[in-house]
Structure 1
Amino acid sequence: MSSAPERAEPEPSDYRAAFNAAHLAMAVVDRGGQVVAANPALASLLGAEPHALVRRRAADLVDLGAEARTWQAYQEVLRGRQARLRCTRRLKHPDGHSLWTEVTLGPVPGTRDVLLSVADISDRRDLQARLRHLQMHDPVTRLPNRALFFERLSAALESSSYEHGGTGRIGLCYLDLDGFKAVNDTLGHRVGDRLLTAVAARLTRCADQSGYGRTGGHLVARLGGDEFALLVEDSTGTEQLADLARSVLAAIQEPFDLAGQRLSVSASIGVVERAAEGTSATGLMQAADTTLYWAKADGKARWTLFDPERNAHRMTRQALSSTLRPAVERGEFAVEYQPLVDLESGTVRGVEALVRWNHPQFGNLTPNRFIGIAEEDGSIVQLGRWVLRTACRQARRWQIEHPSDSPVFVSVNVAVRQVWDSDLVGDVAGILAETGLAPQLLQLELTESAVMGSAGRPLQALQALSDMGVRIAIDDFGTGYSNLAYLSRLPVSVLKLDGSFVRGFRYDDGTHPNPADETIVEALVQLAHRLGLTVTAECVETAGQAARLRRVGCDTGQGWLYSRAVAPERIAEMIGTRPGAGRDRS
């Protein structure tokens, strides 16, 4: 059996032929870093003849000494301490054009030499750059998109520093178009896209014309939909951003001519300017978004500057909203009571229950700080039920503790949402039965606008409560609809005159009273009495006001002349007495 002939080992001349014929640019480099041999591909890449590259320093040919880290790695490869090095280098061709290359160095087996290879990756880099541009730019407006905006913003916050000649500050105008959805809905998305492109052009022009590029960079970006942002690096202060916002607002309000369509739009702009140190991209955008919301809430077609105090109030409101529901269960609320005094006898006829929130962080909060929040998120139902039960239980306790005195009624405020979102009639009936309080000793107060607009379920609930014996009062009467025709058809038994009427009981020159306010109040009192209603005046602060109210026939008064809202123990001391007698705050 004959054996197969052994394959002959390639001759050195074969390697040399392959080396010279290869399309990959290569050179053999000795341990001293000098080129021993270079193939034609490398010579062509560098614009030289192969023999001219021999004895040249390889590091000089491909710029390996530009970075300390790369140079150190290169030295380690030459000494045999590191197997391979790969890096990217931008080289200059003798004819003037630049090219991107990927440089690789590794040992030549069986020798002490190193093989240097240089691959031209310019086309790949160009493709990557084009792909990145597409990825980081909006296809409609060609502006930088959200991703590029946040990349640039983060970089600006990291690099902004006084040490580099910057201002150390950053500014942002965050805007969206008012009513853009209507353009899309009525004229179509093609016209909408043309409008966005035209807006982008005007924003770019405003940024270029503003001149702030002299001290820092700027970026105009489309963040999505009809939202745009103008980022000002190294800003010089709020006035600079305000000027930019004014120019943007004016530019956008100029009519647009879009392929035969003439459109007029406006924008709302949130403006934020602050020190870059300590600011995060997320924090800056949250402030800008909040400020844009303010601009829209304040009427649109305007710019609004970020206000830390206003934002603190908003944050406080959010904090209260998130803790309101569990606060009832934790027992953080308390009820105080303000006397309702008979203007003829001066004795306490009833009290108004006023809830207070003993917040662990913000202290003692009055109703105007949290009732609106409770109405918005629905927790007013739970809170209102607790206040109603607490007030009825307290009124019954006073009745038991003062059997010889006429029992005082308790007046409890009710929000319209309590009528819609709960069984108010059932709640009242159950609490009265639970506490043993007579229905005639409970008064429920609703605002004038709520009562006057009652229909359907609210009206049925009010009628059922009135039939039960509970008194219904209209609070702040005179500030809402003031549709007097409703009074004859609603189950109302009490009018509470808004405090503005009483505060109007003043003197023009110190001696002669202004008769207008007294005439209005007298007319309202007479009308109420003819309809079988009683009248309570709020905000009574002086004995003079009380005397004039008594003269026009007002039934009861409430205000600081008699007492502020106080704890139930203080009310117990007032029952059967004349609170505020002899006291005059005039």
Structure 2
Amino acid sequence: MALLFLDLDHFKRVNDTLGHEAGDLLLKSVARTLTKSVRGNDTVARLGGDEFTILLTDIQSPSAARKVAEKILQSLRSPVYLEGKEVTITTSIGITLGPEDGIHANALMKYADLAMYKAKEKGRKNYQFYTSAMNDEVQQRVRIERELTNALENREFLLFYQPLIRIHDRKVVGMEALIRWQHPERGLLSPFEFLTVAEETGLINPIGDWVLRQACQDTADLHRDGYGDIVVSVNLAASQFRDAHLPKAICGILDEKRVESRWLDLEITESMLMENTDQVVATLRHLKALGVTLSVDDFGTGYSSLSYLKRFPVDRLKVDRSFVQDIPDDRSDVEITAAIIAMSHKLNLQVVAEGVETAEQLEFLQQNGCDICQGYMFSEPVPIEKFRQYLDEQKK
């Protein structure tokens, strides 16, 4: 036998954009598709929300389960029309086999669930078979979660800063705060090595709060010591941004650290803008009322368009490094980046280019009127002490 665990990808967006009635209609459509994809003696069940399970009985090999999973993925590619709009849904599928993987129902459900999350990690809209290594990954996540909690208590986190350069005069006008973890055994860790676990376990909020406080403290110290109007950019996690108390918390931090609101730039990603448009706009307006700057990070990697951004009260757009890295050799990137800069200015948005590494890239950005840039051409992210040294060197 085989047990398939399915979780619909980005189902929440359907509820948020079209309403819960449309979401219910989509779930019914998916249920019909799943039922048509299996045999009469197989069982399809909805666990709740956007999760389904399928029990395949009397299968002789993993390839039979694989064929069912592939059939489901293929069948779901056909669009569904809801509220007069075309909607396409995909799913991530985890597969476990019995009795090879186990005989107890609870264990098989756990294994199928683990495999489903592996499918999510692999980019969604695919299937993965359970392997014993997935248990090891879970144990590793539990260990990292415990160590992250200790890291907060033991002050093991550090902030590194990358300069933001105003292109027309090469002046340092800001810095992006980037977290690092000084792990007692594994050394200095980048955020890619621990933030995913922090997000999944809810630790991202206290970590994000620490980042905001430390970044504001470092910025206040810079201004106190006469380093000019440096603005600090801080990345917000999705769960932070969804927190209704965020504007009040930021207001409190600004007062506590004696930082003017105009010295703080909050970065949010495209995908965060798409989650619940009305709520997003309300939150952004509350933040704007504080006087902080708002930036859309990694633009071009998500779902929004420049015309879509008109509805959001944001100030800056950060062009993702993937568009910059092959300039001037890649003509498509050249045309896209030039268009983004031009259209952003028509919307009264400043443009920040990420990942600038060569003089040719900088020259292109300057010729096309890009406002600000950052990248290894100027400096890698460095601790605050080295950032101060960088500022001192620029004055010479």
Which TM-score applies when normalising by structure 1? Answer: 0.50
Contact 2:328 2:360 in 1 (8 A): no
Listed as ranges, the matches of 1:163-178 within 5 Å are 175-177=2-4
Matched residues in 1 for 2:273 and 2:361: separation? Answer: 28
* Match of residue 245, structure 1, among 57, 62, 86: 62
Contact 2:160–2:381 (8 Å) recurs in 1: yes
Q: Are 1:530 and 2:346 counterparts?
A: yes
Show the counterpart of 1:343. 167
> SS at the partner of 1:406?
coil
Matched-pair contact (CA < 8 Å) for 1:449–1:480: yes
Does 1:542 find its partner at 2:324? no
Counterpart in the other structure of 1:482: 304
Q: Distance in 2 between matches of 1:251 and 1:569?
A: 58
Change (3 A) 1:449 1:250: closer
CA distance in 2, matches of 1:490, 1:253: 39
Kept in 2, the 8 Å contact 1:471–1:493? The answer is yes
**5+ residue gaps, structure 1:** 1-173, 187-191, 198-224, 231-242, 255-266, 275-279, 508-513, 582-586
Aligned ranges 1:345-360 → 2 under 5 Å = 345-360=169-184
2:92 paired with 1:270: no
Matched residue type, 1:571: F
Q: Secondary structure at the match of 1:521?
A: helix
Say which SS state the counterpart of residue 41 (structure 2) adopts: helix
Could you tell me how far 1:348 is from its partner in structure 2? 1.5
Give deviations 1:227-283, integer Å, cap 9, x for gaps.
8799xxxxxxxxxxxx942366569999xxxxxxxxxxxx96436999xxxxx989x
Contact map agreement 2:3 2:97 (CA 8 A) in 1: no
Structure 2: distance between partners of 1:453 and 1:340 = 29
Question: Deviations for 1:462-507, whole angstroms, at most 9, x for unmatched residues?
Answer: 1122122100000001111223233333221111001111013142
| AA partner of residue 195 (structure 1) | N
Q: What's the CA shift for 1:177?
A: 4.9
CA distance in 1 between partners of 2:68 and 2:289 (Å):
63
The AA in structure 2 aligned to 1:319 is R
Are residue 394 (structure 1) and residue 218 (structure 2) matched?
Answer: yes
Greater alpha carbon shift after TM alignment, 474-483 vs 323-332: 323-332
**RMSD of aligned residue pairs (Cα, Å):** 4.0
- Point out where structure 2 has 5 or more consecutive residues left out of the alignment: 7-27, 33-37, 44-53, 72-92
The letter of the residue matching 2:173 is: R
Specify whether residues 361 and 343 from structure 1 end up closer, same or farther in structure 2 by C-alpha distance, changes over 3 A only: same
- Asked if 2 retains the 8 angstrom alpha-carbon contact of 1:476 and 1:496, the reply is yes
Q: Does 1:520 align with 2:336?
A: yes
Q: Give how far 1:178 is off.
A: 6.2
Aligned to 1:444: 266
Task: Give me the whole-angstrom Cα distance separating, in 2, the residues matched to 1:544 and 1:330.
Answer: 44
What secondary structure, in the 3-state scheme, does the structure 1 residue paired with 2:228 have? coil
**Counterpart amino acid of 2:131?**
F
* 1:384 counterpart = 2:213: no
Give SS of 2:369's match: coil
> 1:252, 1:271 → 2: CA distance?
13
| Superposition pairs of residues 158-197 of structure 1, within 5 angstroms | 175-177=2-4, 195=41
C-alpha spacing 1:549/1:245, structure 2 compared with 1 (3 Å): same
- Render the CA deviation track for 1:522-554: whole Å, top value 9, x for unaligned: 221122222222111011111211111111111
Of 412, 419, 440, which residue of structure 1 is paired with 2:241?
Answer: 419
Call closer, same or farther: CA 1:339–1:303 in 2, change over 3 Å: closer
Counterpart among 316, 322, 327 of residue 500 in structure 1: 322
Per-residue CA distance 1:354-390 (angstroms, 9 max, x = gap): 1112233443322223323333332222111111010
Instruction: Tell me how far apart the structure 2 counterparts of residues 177 and 529 of structure 1 sit (CA, whole Å).
Output: 49
Aligned ranges 1:303-322 → 2 under 5 Å: 304=129, 306=131, 308=133, 312-322=136-146
Cα gap change, 1:485/1:302 in structure 2, threshold over 3 Å: closer, same or farther?
closer
Select the residue among 367, 378, 391 that pairs with 1:551: 367
Q: 1:348 to 1:303 in 2, by over 3 A?
A: closer
Q: Aligned partners of 1:523 and 1:413: how far apart in 2?
A: 25
1:294 aligns with 2:115: yes
Task: Output the CA distance in 2 between the equivalents of 1:541 and 1:318.
Answer: 38
Secondary structure at 1:535's aligned position in 2?
strand
- Pair 315,362 (structure 1): closer, same or farther in 2 beyond 3 Å: farther
SS at match of 1:337: strand
For 2:207, the aligned partner's letter is L
Counterpart residue number, 1:328:
152
* Stretch of structure 1 that moved more, 378-387 or 442-451: 378-387
- Residues 87-98 of structure 1 correspond to what in structure 2 (within 5 A)? none
The letter of the residue matching 2:129 is T
2:239 & 2:154 partners in 1: Cα distance? 23
Counterpart in 1 of 2:383? Answer: 567
Tell me the TM-score normalized by structure 2: 0.71
> Within 1, Cα distance between the matches of 2:131 and 2:265?
44
Q: In the alignment, what sits opposite 2:85?
A: none
Q: For 2:102 and 2:230, how far apart are their aligned partners in 1?
A: 59
Q: Distance in 2 between matches of 1:454 and 1:417?
A: 13
C-alpha distance 175-528 of structure 1, shift in aligned 2 (>3 A): same
Greater relative contact order structure (CA < 8 Å, 6+ sep): 2
Identity of aligned residues (%): 32
Check conservation: 1:340, 1:350, Cα contact below 8 A.
Answer: yes
How many Å apart are 1:319 and its aligned residue? 2.0
| Distance (whole Å) between structure 2 residues aligned to residue 354 and residue 528 of structure 1 | 25
Contact 1:339-1:563 at 8 Å conserved across structures:
yes
